[in-house]
Amino acid sequence: MEERVLHFKRRVLANLTGYGLEGESRLAKHIEKLQAGSYPVQGGKKLYTADDSRQIRAVDAPWPLPRFDRPEVLAFFYSKGGVGKTTICANIGVTLAAAGNRVLLIDTDPQASLSLLFDVDVDQEIYTLGDAVEAVIHDKPADFRKGLIRPIKDLQLDLLPADNRLVWTDMLMVQAQYREKLVEQVFICNQALLEEYDFVLIDTPPSVNSLSFSAVAASNRIISVVQLSKMAIKASGNLFKLARELKKGTGRVVPITFIPNMLHGGKPHTRSTLDIIRASIDSESSSKVGITATVIPEYVGLARPKGHEDGQKTLLEAEPLSLTTQKFIELSREIETLAMLDRGDENHG
């Protein structure tokens, strides 16, 4: 299998660090001060890595690198299938990491779409979140390091993959006491490891089961991908219900952020969809709910043909300068800002 690497041109580095097109000459000056690495070259020009993004954003860049003492845990959850949760989770994960963040992806879907996207051989023996949960239920140590995979070279992006045994984990959890706390307990067991990350992104299946409920309960924020369809928007009712259950069970209000997917900015139907989503939000006063300013369009580069789920590259790998890639960079920047807000909320009780 071809090894996945992520090296990019200076233009992409400028986009990831906030310098943009007009700031490229200022970026060039900044680059001169970087620690000289052994850069790969393409067409006589240097290529850069996530490490360069991190170094540049650490000192005086238009987009400074956020730093947290604990990771921001985001659950990609929506009770409707096929809306793009996995696609958006993978692309945001890679973009956040390329911009200099340390990212852990956790696949909790027995279909393992996220794992397949990162070339995991799901026929091999795999250590999943399910194994960690079972260990905690049986008072045994739960160690994520047994399962971690680093799918793209030069990127601080790790993946805890999934396989279809997760279906059984869910059945086991149904009988467990305090099941909404189980993933939180697994996180406590792995605290030292988790402190090595800035973001933990959890991809969940389209159903509310014990495992996805517990994963959402252990998160700082729910990220809900939503599309223009009556069914997709109607499913937000289930999401708000889950948020209410969480509040009852844990006393915590988990904020929700909608990411509109497969829409086209500026088109009339996009505006009306956004209005419908906003209207459903306004009636939901018990939760902190918002919607990203960035909208992900329907784009052929994001479409995975059915049955060919494995090995699909993320946009930053496949077409780093496309407009939709730029959307993911903007979205990642919004996610960083929300993470800083979450930290502020926690510090103020």
Ligand X SMILES: Nc1ncnc2c1ncn2[C@@H]1O[C@H](COP(=O)(O)OP(=O)(O)OP(=O)(O)O)[C@@H](O)[C@H]1O
Instruction: Give the integer Cα–Cα distance in Å for 344 and 255.
Output: 13
Under rule CB under 6 A, which residues in 94-153 are in contact with ligand X?
109, 113
For residue 287, what are the CA distances in angstroms to 72, 174, 222? Answer: 19, 26, 11
The window from 32-40, 127-135, 181-189, 299-307 that contacts ligand X (CB under 6 A) reads: 299-307
With CB under 5 to 8 Å by kind, the binding choice for 81 among Mg ion, ligand X, none is ligand X
Query: Which residue number, 188 or 318, has a Cβ lying nearer to ligand X?
Result: 318
> Where do contacts with Mg ion occur on this chain (CB under 5 A)?
85-86, 113
Answer for which of 154, 184, 298, 330 binds ligand X (CB under 6 A) is 298
Query: Which residue number, 53 or 314, has a Cβ lying nearer to Mg ion?
Result: 314
Smallest gap from residue 90 Cβ to ligand X (A): 8
H helices of 37-111, where?
Answer: 50-58, 85-98
49 binds ligand X (CB under 6 A): no
16 binds ligand X (CB under 6 A): no
Answer for which of 20, 206, 265, 290 binds ligand X (CB under 6 A) is 206
What are the E-state strand segments in 199-286? 199-203, 221-226, 256-260
With contact defined as beta carbons under 8 Å apart, do 289 and 254 qualify?
no
Query: Which residue number, 84 or 255, has a Cβ lying nearer to ligand X?
Result: 84
The window from 44-52, 84-92, 121-129, 234-242 that contacts ligand X (CB under 6 A) reads: 84-92
Under rule CB under 6 A, which residues in 268-297 are in contact with ligand X?
296
End-to-end C-alpha distance for the chain, whole angstroms = 49
Residue nearest to Mg ion (CB): 86
CB pairs under 8 A, 24+ apart, for 190-195? 190/132, 190/142, 190/143, 190/144, 193/143, 193/144, 193/145, 194/70, 194/71, 194/104, 195/69, 195/70, 195/71
With CB under 5 to 8 Å by kind, the binding choice for 82 among ligand X, Mg ion, none is ligand X
Provide φ and ψ at 304, rounded to 5°. -105, 120
Instruction: Give the integer Cα–Cα distance in Å for 138 and 234.
Output: 39
CB pairs under 8 A, 24+ apart, for 264-270? 264/295, 264/297, 264/298, 265/295, 265/297, 269/228, 270/228, 270/295
Answer for which of 171, 188, 231, 303 binds ligand X (CB under 6 A) is 303
Answer for which of 262, 295, 315, 329 binds ligand X (CB under 6 A) is 262
60: its two tokens: 């005086």
Query: Which residue number, 100 or 205, has a Cβ lying nearer to ligand X?
Result: 205
Smallest gap from residue 267 Cβ to Mg ion (A): 26
Instruction: Give the integer Cα–Cα distance in Å for 112 and 151.
Output: 15
319 binds ligand X (CB under 6 A): no
User: Where do contacts with ligand X occur on this chain (CB under 6 A)?
Assistant: 81-87, 109, 113, 205-206, 261-262, 296, 298-299, 302-304
